[in-house]
Structure 1
Amino acid sequence: MFEKLVEWDKQTLIYLNNLGSEQFDAFWLITTNFLTWIPLFLFIIILLYRMYKPKEGFWVFLSFLSMLIVVTGVIFFTKEYFGRLRPVNDSSLNNLLRVLIKPSDYSFISGHAASSFAITTLAALYLKKETKWIFLLLLWPILFSFSRMYLGVHYPLDILSGMLVGTFFAWMFYTMHQKFRAPYIM
């Protein structure tokens, strides 16, 4: 069963990665860069600032910061524990993938997927009363995560696991805030 899952993971990555073409490479290289998304982060901060008074905004900011610290730790320890080679570093896949970048750390779980889903899910949860369309923010981590397969640096299961981890921690930190902080706001 596990071998079939790993084989599916490899074949799906090969298929998705080979859908790419040189004319789209620059777009995906820009998409995968965290710096590209600074305007979105600023937009989220502005919306949070507008919605929350300074005292409560501090606690919201603290939940984001705490969540990112925890998610970063989970990503680091998971990668070290599983030690899964990135597809671009797997010699059995070298001739089958379009390689645009070649990171040397481990693959499982995707830090890009986990952190981007954590940030946007938590933002969407905090801002859902402000705007009904806030869940459109989730387009960012979807694009961000897909870019990692396009570039051949993550398997689909790395991405899916990262998405689940990020979403789980966003939900957990939001729930903790609602349970332990929100009732005491004056």
Structure 2
Amino acid sequence: MIETLNELDTRLFLWLNNQSAPWLDPVMIQITERNTWFPFYALLIGWLIYQFRQQALGLLLAIAGSVAVGDQVASSVLKPMTHRLRPCHTQAIQKFIHPVLECGGPYSFVSSHASTTFALATSLWLLLGRRYPAFGWVFAWAALVSYSRIYVAAHYPLDVLAGTGVGVASAMGIVGIYHRTAAGRQLASFGR
């Protein structure tokens, strides 16, 4: 069963990774690079502080906690536990892939990019989605960043899907804890 799943995952990866174009390579490099998104994060932090003033610290801690837990589960627990090699480190498929960047660390399962971006998107949605439905677009951003990891040959689709699940679960857990605090209850009553 695991071998069949791995084979299907590899085939899907090869198909998706080979849907490339020279003009798209630099775009995907920018999308996949974490530093690209620092201005977005700074704007988000500034907006939260401006919009929520005293409540901003609690919101920022909940969001940062969600991202940190998602990242640590992906990088410090699952990758060392599973030892699944990145596609760009897998010799059997080297001649079939379209690598765009240096390969990076050896392990692939799960994608930290998917975990952290979906933790951010989910925590924003759970905290503020009722009041600001436009935050739904952040899921499209997280999906694009996650797809870029397949495009640059760093992750298999299952790595990205599992990373998405880790990020969503992390956000649900941390935001759930936040809602049980006084600040969380105050925000919930404020948004109604």
User: With structure 1 as the length reference, what TM-score do the two structures score?
Assistant: 0.92
Output the amino acid matched with 2:95: N
2:68 paired residue number: 69
Matched, 1:105 2:106: yes
Task: Summarize deviations over 1:41-84 as a string: whole Å, max 9, x none.
Answer: 12322332233232x22222222232233222211221001011
Runs of 4+ in 1 over 6 A off after TM superposition: none
Matched, 1:163 2:143: no
Output the amino acid matched with 1:83: H
Which runs of 5 or more structure 2 residues have no equivalent in the other structure? none
After TM superposition, give the deviation of residue 149 of structure 1 in Å: 0.4
2:59 paired residue number: 60
Inter-partner Cα distance in structure 2 for 1:68 and 1:147: 19
2:11 paired residue number: 11
* Secondary structure of 2:23's aligned partner: helix
Q: Give the alignment's Cα RMSD to 1 decimal.
A: 1.8
Q: Identity rate of aligned residues, in percent?
A: 27
1:78 paired residue number: 78
Superposed, which structure 2 residues align to 1:137-152 within 5 Å?
Answer: 137-152=138-153
Inter-partner Cα distance in structure 2 for 1:153 and 1:161: 14
Which runs of 5 or more structure 1 residues have no equivalent in the other structure? none
How many residue pairs get aligned? The number is 185
User: With structure 2 as the length reference, what TM-score do the two structures score?
Assistant: 0.89
Output the amino acid matched with 2:86: R
